[in-house]
Structure 1
Amino acid sequence: MSVDGFTDYHNRTVVIRSGLDDVTAVSRLAHEVAHLRMHSARQVASAGSIMCRGMREIEAESVAYILMAHHGLSTGGSSFRYVASWAASIDRHHPENVIEGVGNRIVSVARKLIQTVDRDVRRMEADRDRRPSRMVEQSSLGHDPQIRSLGGPQW
């Protein structure tokens, strides 16, 4: 994977490279949010070995994969290659053991993120459905609001 995004653990911010297609951007965002949910600045600063970084990458990418799959979005196999590569860097002979060791943590965080995303999507849809089809604008002179229809008869 190229560097399509990164997490600033100290400031708890995520940066996603512009110009990505929508699915890739969402996948990278899910990966970086998983880092923020699972890893602290202190853990990252004290984790000097490849094993520690590898575990963080396995966890974040696995959570992102599950979140994307839950919402019907495919990562096109890149997630599997990325996770397999990091797992093999930790245990060349038994990379499956590495993934198995963090499986429960991955599933737990993925479930929480899925619940959060699904709840927020339902809330946004409900808000959208409650909004009237008319838009109210305050005139620049401070007079009574002007009401315009969005695609219907003018009032």
Structure 2
Amino acid sequence: MVEAGLIEQGLRLRWLNDGSQRLTWADLVALIETARPGSLLAVARAGQQAAWDDSQHLQAETLDVVNVLAWLLALHISGGKYDQPAPQPVPRPGADTPPTATSDVPPQQLDAPVPTVEETLPGVDESGRIVGEATPLDELNEWLGWV
């Protein structure tokens, strides 16, 4: 893996200690220590979990959340009769076992009743319209500390 990472950089491991100074031990240490996330050198240093950079992990986490929200919305709209299991998280590199959803129980077997829109989103009526009283701007500005 280190050799493949060096090839990405235009270097060869065989150059180490060949008398040419094309690649020194200090160079090799510096390259491995400062390898960018997702590079082969980073994976060689930190394992498969380094195969993704932070952005890719955040994208996978976002996709997991969106999938769960879509599943919950379908469950809510169907009145608890949606028979699909909870979505599985996106597999991450370096995970020993594939991640599992928080519940493998089909929704129709859940003990808790499905909450109504009013219970789920206080201030929203059955049609999905936001209801309530408007807060005066001066009161809102004071609450936000903008006074």
The structure whose residues are more often helix, as a share, is 1
Please, what TM-score do these two structures have when normalized by structure 2? 0.28
Q: Kindly name which structure, 1 or 2, has the bigger radius of gyration based on alpha carbons.
A: 2
Choose between structure 1 and 2 for higher RCO, CA contacts under 8 A separated by at least 6 residues: 1
